[in-house]
Amino acid sequence: MAADKIAVLEMTKANSISTSTSTGLTNLFLLRHAKVDGPAALYGHTDIGVSADENNKLLAQLLSVKHCFSHIVSSPLQRCRTVSEQFAKQNGLPLTIEPGLSETSFGDYDGIAFDDIAFNGIGAKETSTNEINDNDLNWPTLENFWHNPMLNTLPNAESLMDFKLRITNLLQTLINEHQGENVLVVCHGGVIKMMISHVLELEQNPKLFSHLRISNASISKVSHDSASNFSQVCCVSAPLSACDPDNEYLS
């Protein structure tokens, strides 16, 4: 794997995590970052961090869980990268920063606090950190996006189709480059949803993005058996204890 990549997804077989190397099973453990330190908003490419307390809490949880990771792949955004670097250093694990793991871009709405968006596009609060005229941002546009993001791309945002192609190509690359490994992939809610939707062939279902919740600091697992060329989703938004190969959570 290139030096500037980070392991994003770990595919894990439900009942044989500890034997993945011998069976050809690739286990991708998808960890969503901790809660960001900012007001409620759509945070995509905006490089917002998490508070020190939240970061330390997640790091402590990771360090306390028995695991079998052979590699860590992380998004370059600091809300993922900081804890990835700390965990990799304390465990002596190789870490790859993968730009393709970045969250989707929400365009003009990216990083704009919901409280600063007008209900009708008129009279929105001014922000000192963004040059966009917030009077052009409105709730009806956001609601249309939430109801069907495939058909309603936000202004200047990455389309859902482009996001899908980026993440599904990366998923295949991770599977090819980490065959038989257990990989911790530290990334974002949208990235995890897209990987899950691809395995389940649900990319065209808008409810997957509006109704599926991926909690902060949770683990989702996808596994790929190279012998049968079969992938499956093993768990979604599970506690970090699901990383323990002796855990009966998935049995």
Q: What is the pLDDT of residues 128-156, one digit of tens each?
A: 444 444 457 999 999 999 989 989 999 99
Q: Is the torsion defined by CA of 32, 33, 37, 41 positive or negative? A: negative
Instruction: Name the nearest CA neighbour of 94 among 221, 4, 20, 32.
Output: 4
Q: What is the pTM for the complete model shown?
A: 0.84
Range with the lowest mean pLDDT among 21-25, 114-118, 131-135?
131-135
Long-range contacts of 14-21 (CB under 8 A, 24+ apart): 14/223, 14/232, 14/234, 14/235, 14/250, 14/251, 15/250, 15/251, 17/68, 17/182, 17/245, 17/250, 18/68, 18/245, 18/246, 20/68, 20/180, 20/181, 20/182, 21/180, 21/181
Task: Tell me the C-alpha to C-alpha distance, in Å, between residue 12 and each of 9, 50, 211, 228.
Answer: 10, 28, 24, 15
The mean of the pLDDT values for the chain is 85
Q: Which domains does the chain have, with CATH numbers?
A: 1-105+160-251 (3.40.50.1240), 106-157 (no CATH)
Token duo for residue 155? 């202004």
Q: What is the pLDDT of residues 63-95, one digit of tens each?
A: 999 999 999 999 999 999 999 999 999 999 999
Q: What is the pLDDT of residues 42-63, one digit of tens each?
A: 999 999 999 999 999 999 999 9
